[in-house]
Chains A and B, each alone.
Chain A
Amino acid sequence: MSEPMLNVESISIVFGGLKAVSNFDFKIYEGELVGLIGPNGAGKTTVFNMLSGIYNPTEGKIQFREPDGITRSIEGKAPHVLAKAGIARTFQNIRLFKDLSVLDNVRIAMHNRIAYTPLGAVFRTKAYYQEEVRIKTKAMELLGLFNIDSKSEELAQNLPYGEQRKLEIVRALAGNPRLLLLDEPAAGMNTQETKNLMELISFIRKRFSVTILLIEHDMNLVMGICERLVVLDYGKIIAEGLPEEIKRNPSVIKAYLGEEATIDA
């Protein structure tokens, strides 16, 4: 427990002349649920993109404890390598495979552990049939947990917004992650939907024993479920701590909530 699952050591990234994130330091331990908050353009998604391998940090180190218990540097590794190592994510502007079925969306995320070869697929070996049955059963089970198994044959783009968000989470979970990065899961949801989402996230955490890092704008959600918060502004960490402390932190109030905002709204 003493060693963090993910240890980010002062990563920075520069786009042209703009330092989007500078000296971002962060640790997350197994089983934690941490929120990453900050005003628009603070660099939250950029941090996610570095953690999931889409961007390569200009400076700094990211250490991740892999399933075999060994901690390795992962900065600059390809996204698919990190996905296999156990880091899964969702996207702020939902990135489903829109023209594919709900079931296929989930099955694609299971591809990295496939147990037959391309030739096995062409010749339809026994291994092919067994594996396809296994994958489908597991995918349906996952969809069932989130009550969208009845829509498994529908195209992902035809799902209502809330279910598309759900499906993205299911797809991320299908890859057997140990660290789940959720990028604004409540974006565009109303109060009731957000409340359901909070329950869903707590449920996922228990059911899949997964560590979660989430970006969120909805303060109720963040304050309600996160154990620890990190506040980012202009690419720098301006505060870190328990939700209660963050609520009272004057620099956070100034940077994130604005001068006149009240927090208990």
Chain B
Amino acid sequence: MEHKRRNSILLAIIAIAVVVIPTTLIKIEVIDEYTAQILTLAGINAIIAISLNLISGITGQLALGHAGFMAIGAYTTSSLTMQLGLPLPLAIIAGGFMTAVFGFVIGFPTLKLSGDYLAIVTLGFGEIIRVVLINMKGVTGGAAGLKGVPGFTADILAQPVVSFAVVTATLVLVLAGITNFLLSSYGRAIISIREDEIAAASNGIPVFFYKMFSFTISAFLAGIAGGLYAPFFGYLNPTMFTFLKSVDFLIIVVLGGMGSITGTIIASYVLTYLQEFLRFLKDYRLVIYPFILIFIMLFRPKGLLGRSELSLVGLLNRILQSRAVKTKDDKEARR
């Protein structure tokens, strides 16, 4: 019991440090604004990639339209703030719920079937959303885009710091929530669907219900990430949410490891940074980037972490333990 308490305190400290330390570094300009923006974008990508991993890697149902979910979240949030004057946090949550409703409606007829139907339907859905957004000129600004989405703070100079802090804090909350969920009986139930649907059903798991549950939560999280993206970027255009964007998220998930949440986070930061870092290569970037992906997949076909998770507390405990063993050994050796 004491061990458990110590671990949760340790975890809370790590969580706060992950948000506070880089925020301070950005504030005192050790990390420049450009890098801060990449880190923020990586955080947003990580949230969507986690949501995609939940349905594709963990529940085992391939989905190819998460850019569409992101778009719904982004446009809902910006419309609510710009046209109805709703406070931003409320608008972001509302964007999440709106996306969840869409997820529910698409999932209901599709997830009754087993097989890759969800992939096809979500792929189509993503494209439909994009076309609808182009044509709803009154609300979305059409193909010209939606300009002047209000940021996280009115103070333009403080914008990078606040954006980073809000996005990273959200990511930490999402990570904590999802991890706790997956380590419960509900998480096991959902994973059992990926492993073997028939066996899961025969052992009392309501397969359709949990697929729906997982897909709706996945849509909700993607919507939240979209809601964070709108004020962070300040400008929305339907061309930002194409099928290729959905594939980008899928690449992150596959590279991090289908079924590994921490792997997804690592891959989000690595790939987002890599895309920016390779800019000096100009057009060759589009050649080098896929090459890097191919190489990683050759050497780690199951992704960086496969299905396992990286546990900082576990790592710390192991280091402390091995040190304790070492000092014990030393003492014994001296005797």
Contact = CB atoms under 8 A, between A and B. Distances in A.
Interface of A: 52-54, 78-80, 83-84, 88-89, 91, 95-100, 104, 107-112, 114, 116, 118, 121-124, 128, 131-132, 135, 171-172, 174-175
Contacts of B181: 118, 121-122
B23 interface: no
Contact of B195 (A91, A98, A124, A175): A98
B196 A97 contact: yes
Interface stretch (B68-76, B84-92, B117-125, B184-192): B184-192
Contacts of A96: 196, 199
Contacts, number: 102
Given A91-B199, A97-B196, A100-B195, A128 B204 contact: no
A185 to B, nearest CB: 15
A163 B207 CA distance: 27
Contact of A111 (B177, B189, B195, B196): B189
Given A97-B196, A100-B191, 12 more contacts: A79-B198, A79-B201, A96-B199, A97-B199, A100-B188, A100-B195, A108-B192, A116-B185, A118-B213, A121-B181, A123-B180, A128-B184
B206 interface: yes
Contacts of B183: 121
Contacts of B196: 95-98
A175 B201 CA distance: 12
Q: How large is the interface on B (under 10, 10 to 19, 20 to 34, 35 or more residues)?
A: 20 to 34
Contacts of A116: 184-185
Contacts of A98: 195-196
Interface string B193-223: 0011011111111110000010000000000
Nearest to A54: B198
Interface of B: 177, 180-181, 183-189, 191-192, 195-196, 198-207, 213, 307
25 contacts: A53-B201, A78-B201, A78-B206, A79-B201, A80-B204, A83-B201, A88-B202, A95-B202, A97-B192, A97-B200, A98-B196, A99-B307, A100-B188, A100-B191, A108-B200, A108-B205, A111-B185, A111-B188, A111-B204, A118-B181, A118-B184, A121-B184, A122-B177, A122-B180, A124-B180
A98 B191 CA distance: 11
A111 B199 contact: no
Contacts of A124: 180
Given A97-B195, A100-B191, A80 B206 contact: yes
A58 B73 CA distance: 46
B203 to A, nearest CB: 4
B204 A109 contact: yes
Given A111-B189, A124-B180, A99 B195 contact: yes
A121 B199 CA distance: 24
A161 to B, nearest CB: 17
A123 to B, nearest CB: 7
B185 A54 contact: no
User: Which 5 pairs from chain A and chain B are nearest by CB?
Assistant: A121-B184, A112-B204, A83-B204, A97-B195, A79-B201
A118 B181 CA distance: 7
B130 to A, nearest CB: 32
B188 A175 contact: no
Contacts of B199: 91, 95-97
B179 to A, nearest CB: 9
B185 A135 contact: yes
Nearest to A98: B195
Contacts of A111: 185-186, 188-189, 203-205
B202 A52 contact: yes
Contacts of B185: 107-108, 110-111, 114, 116, 121, 131-132, 135
Contacts of B307: 99
Contacts of A83: 201-204
Contacts of B187: 121
A179 to B, nearest CB: 13
A54 B200 CA distance: 12
A80 B204 CA distance: 4
A110 B202 CA distance: 12
A175 B198 contact: no
A96 B201 CA distance: 12
A107 B203 CA distance: 10
Given A88-B202, A95-B196, A80 B207 contact: yes
A108 B188 contact: yes
A89 B184 contact: no
A84 B188 contact: no
Contacts of B206: 78, 80
A196 to B, nearest CB: 24
B186 A80 contact: no
B195 A132 contact: no
